Amino acid sequence: MSRVAGKVVLVTGAGSGIGRATAKLLAAEGATVIVTDVNRPGGMETVQQIGGRARFEEQDTSKEADWKRIIDDILAREGRLNGLVNNAGIAGPFPSTFESETVEQWQRILAINVQGVFLGCKHGVPVMRQSGGGSIVNLSSLAAFLGTPDLSAYGASKGAVRQFTKTVAIDCARKGYKVRCNSVHPGVILTPMGAGIMPNDKAKERVRRSIPIGDFGAPEDIAYGILYLISDESRFITGTELVIDGGMNAI
């Protein structure tokens, strides 16, 4: 239970779903975890479930001022940052086609899903470099590889995260920062957000049948992939994609 022992890791959007599962697993494997979310009750519940290896900070990842405050606080209290999981994200209403989405919906999704990741990397990389290096994991999606006619802005945002991850990875590698950056691409995972695209049992069963492995993913399935990328076990991996989707992208 010590795969990330001694590491300080920030996990955004950790008040539920994949973020919560990731924060709990990282703490169980020895990390000190800073849990952030706009959902204070959810974030506090995550910390309570973890116990002594975590604390909560309220954060809107689309706001640069919040990133500056969080990073400054980590430096003041923990003195370093070794890992960053840019997990916070939203899907928006379902269905949302490019013809029906409003500009406001489009901008809000990209502000959280893309700008939030950009700001995390912008402010996280310098302190991780100062800490001797580290690992960034950006949550993208299976949607980054496929057309998403019912989730137009969401698909576009996750495609942007996939590409931006490679940019950060190569820039850091070439500059000798010792900061790795990879993206994780979940398929259909049973989380509150995932349930939003399956409004009833009939739709849920239809989606289940489309997954080659025959079942939905759980938040813990994604958390274990993130744990690997945050740990030193993945020291030679940067700028790549880890797809965890039950085989859907192989069809």
Residue type, 26: L
CA distance 55 to 173: 31
Q: Which of 219, 221, 195 is nearest to 208 (CA)?
A: 195
228 is catalytic: no
CA distance 164 to 110: 13
SS3 string of the chain?
CCCCCCCEEEEECCCCHHHHHHHHHHHHCCCEEEEEECCHHHHHHHHHHHCCCEEEEECCCCCHHHHHHHHHHHHHHCCCCCEEEECCCCCCCCCECCCCCCHHHHHHHHHHHHHHHHHHHHHHHHHHHHCCCEEEEEECCHHHCCCCCCEHHHHHHHHHHHHHHHHHHHHHHHCCCCEEEEEEEECCECCHHHHCCCCCHHHHHHHHHCCCCCCCECHHHHHHHHHHHHCHHHCCCCCCEEEECCCHHHC
Catalytic residue among 154, 177, 224, 228: 154
Hey, which residues are catalytic here?
154
